[in-house]
Amino acid sequence: MKLNKNHIQTLAFIALYLFAIYFWTQPLQRKLPYGEYDAMSHFEVADYIAYNDKSFMQLPPYIDLRYGLDNRFMPHTLWYPPTFHASLAVAEVFGGDRVIPIFLLNAIMASFILITVYFVINSLFGFLPAILSALLLVFSPRDFMPYLWGQWPERFAYALIPIILYCFYRYFIGYSKENNNPKYLYLSALFLGIIILAHPLAFFHSAAGLLILYVFLALKQKKLAFNLKHALASAAIFLTLFFIFPYQTFNILPQIAGGADESLKQFDLSRIFQWSLDPKDYAGSVPQSYFSFGDMHGLWTLPFLIIGILTLAWRREERDIFMLAWLVSLYLVLHRDIAGKASFLHRSLSASAHIFAPLTAIGAVYLASFIKLPSSFSKWLKYGIAAVFVFLIFSVNMANASKTLNKDTYNDFFSALNGEEYRAAQWSLENIPSSANITILGIPHQEQFQSATSKKIRWFAAVSQHVTRFYYLREDKEELLKSKEWYIMLDYTMLGPLNDKKTFDEMQEFERTKLTNHALVYDKGGIRVYKP
Amino acid sequence: MNFKFKEVYVFSLAAALPIFIFSYALFGITGIRVVLGIIFVSFPFYVLLNRLELAEGEKFVFSALLGLTALPSLAYILGFLIPFRMAIAASFITLISIAVLFVKCKNSRKEN
């Protein structure tokens, strides 16, 4: 077999993608679970399926405690369709480990947008804009930050949007009365059904995208691509998928039916001229930098982005219309607060780079064609600009991204489990009856630590698959000590580094005086577990 | 097996090699097993899409997306009746059977 241009380009993309996986999985080098509360919930669901070797309808108690009412249509069941979590569970089964497979497959699924953007742009505009787009996306904070925070299914769902639009575009372009092969339309319907199983927000985004793309292409080609038979078959494909997990997909309805959001009352006409949102509205939950173009994309990309948009708007070939429809649909989704639907608006902002990156790369690649030069010079100029583009990505975007995403991300003394805690949680899972709960002493519970250490407690619950609570925050301490349902865990691992002799002495005293009717069943690495 | 088909397979194997080496270097045997899992779940859909006259890139991307979503969903549904591990195997067998039937159907239609 001889290597041709396509092979070399594919190998180049594989190299880039492997680098992306390395970059995105740096926190996993510790081989311990990490992330915010959302990450814990997704880990819990996937791990429960794989570890217990079964699907479930009712949430297990340690998940139900927090998420029992998140499904408003059918409380105490999964609040998302299980598609994404079942996929992570399959990875856990194949991987034969509880942490690495889930976090590795999640990184692959969260970064799948690189694959779909590369594939779509390569198909429509060629290799150079495609590989530059993918490289820009590797360091997109609006992608890896929500991935780190734990918005896992949503990250993957966004990767389906370009594919849905691409399939529909192929159908429309190839449509004529004589020759109208519906395979691409059926694929659109199939992926549209899958996206609703992945995340509803991305579904609404793709539905808006399809509508805009249809209108734009119909205007451009002065034709209406509509075949009743195809439309009905596509609807059947979509509805079959929609009804596969009705308890979860119907959970979307109460959300849609919810009243107008607060932001409607404060509607400001100037929003129409703004792309991003007001960081003040999200203070405390999302960092300010998330709303800054410069911090998220790099200010240097702005001229290329504008050139890209203007080039496509001026040229208006079918493939240009595809990109513009994608951009306009994101604009509409981002301004749905005008129609009174402002919930999770900032999450839609996280899809910006998916369209900005290719538009920026297209702008850079087409820039050379604006300068009248002999064709060989023009080609060199194009590659020269691409080289500068790559240099800027590595020197600006990668440097910026590395500050947030590196080996020490979530290597947090207070919020992440340490090795000893992880092993104790694993032991608890294997040895403590599933009906029992665990209460912990030794992990700082005081107000100044609580926002961080609550995460450690939740990670302990996720790994041990048991309801886990701070002992000192319980009001029923005396009853709890008498109960047969509560195991007591004393975690001494944090006290040494904190130099907290007072708590150490208190816990020693607690063991001597309060646990006389309990049996010590685990004593390793500074962690002790007592059985009631 | 025609020349183009053979070429795709040889290239896929060659391209898989750096992926396996990378996965092993970063995550040991677990990494390799996860990659094998992705190939496993995607394979039935690749067989199916291979008969739809799609571009090679389309087949790879679409089958990976379907493999990561449709097969686990089916396994989850079957997981209410049988253990989840068995459900994965049953889903694979079901989907590969559908794919083979589809291919046979297409082939016989072509011959007629």
> How confident is residue A278, by pLDDT bands cut at 50, 70 and 90?
confident
Average pLDDT over residues A37-47: 97
In chain A, pLDDT over 70 holds for what percent of residues? 97
Closest in A14, A91, A96 to B18, CB measured: A14
State pLDDT tens for residues A126-151: 999 999 999 999 999 999 999 999 99
Residue A376 has pLDDT above 70, yes or no: yes
Mutate to test the interface with A, among B6, B52, B84 (most CBs of A within 10 A): B84
> What residue of A is the nearest CA neighbor of B9?
A1
Can you tell me the distance from the alpha carbon of A125 to that of A137, in angstroms, rounded to the nearest whole number? 17
Task: Residue A229: count other Cβ atoms within 10 Å of its Cβ.
Answer: 9
The answer to whether B79 contacts A11, with C-beta atoms less than 8 Å apart, is: no
Tokens of A290: 């998330």
pLDDT score at A494: 96
A50 vs B contacts (CB less than 8 Å)? 84
State pLDDT tens for residues B48-81: 999 888 999 999 999 999 999 999 999 999 999 9
Average pLDDT over residues A342-354: 91
> What residue of A is the nearest CA neighbor of B69?
A83
State pLDDT tens for residues A77-120: 999 999 999 999 999 999 999 999 999 999 999 999 999 999 99
The answer to whether B84 contacts A93, with C-beta atoms less than 8 Å apart, is: yes
Residue A272 has pLDDT above 60, yes or no: yes
B89 vs A contacts (CB less than 8 Å)? none
State pLDDT tens for residues A488-507: 999 999 999 999 999 999 99
Residue A438 has pLDDT above 70, yes or no: yes
In chain A, pLDDT over 90 holds for what percent of residues? 86
pLDDT score at B4: 66
Q: Which residues contact A154 (CB under 8 A, 6 or more apart)?
A: A146, A198, A199, A201, A202, A347, A350
Residue A253 has pLDDT above 80, yes or no: no
Can you tell me the distance from the alpha carbon of A92 to that of A444, in angstroms, rounded to the nearest whole number? 32
The answer to whether B71 contacts A90, with C-beta atoms less than 8 Å apart, is: yes
State pLDDT tens for residues A172-189: 999 887 777 899 999 999
Can you tell me the distance from the alpha carbon of A355 to that of A137, in angstroms, rounded to the nearest whole number? 10
Average pLDDT over residues A121-127: 97
The answer to whether B84 contacts A87, with C-beta atoms less than 8 Å apart, is: no
Residue type, B70: A
Average pLDDT over residues A223-240: 95
pLDDT score at A338: 84
CA distances from A133 to A23, A26, A122, A401 (A): 17, 22, 10, 16
pLDDT score at B2: 56
pLDDT score at A307: 97
pLDDT score at A267: 64
pLDDT score at A470: 96
Tokens of A509: 């005293």
What secondary structure does DSSP assign to B46-83, as a single string?
A: HHHHTTS---HHHHHHHHHHHHHHHHHHHHHHHTTTS-
A104 vs B contacts (CB less than 8 Å)? 27, 30-31, 34
pLDDT score at B110: 72
The answer to whether B10 contacts A1, with C-beta atoms less than 8 Å apart, is: yes
pLDDT score at A3: 82
Residue A260 has pLDDT above 60, yes or no: no
Provide the mean pLDDT of chain A. Answer: 94
pLDDT score at B1: 46
Average pLDDT over residues A49-78: 96
pLDDT score at A257: 67
Q: What is the DSSP letter of A134?
A: H
Mutate to test the interface with A, among B1, B11, B27 (most CBs of A within 10 A): B27
Mutate to test the interface with B, among A3, A11, A90 (most CBs of B within 10 A): A90
Residue A157 has pLDDT above 90, yes or no: yes
Residue B19 has pLDDT above 90, yes or no: yes
pLDDT score at A259: 53
B44 vs A contacts (CB less than 8 Å)? none
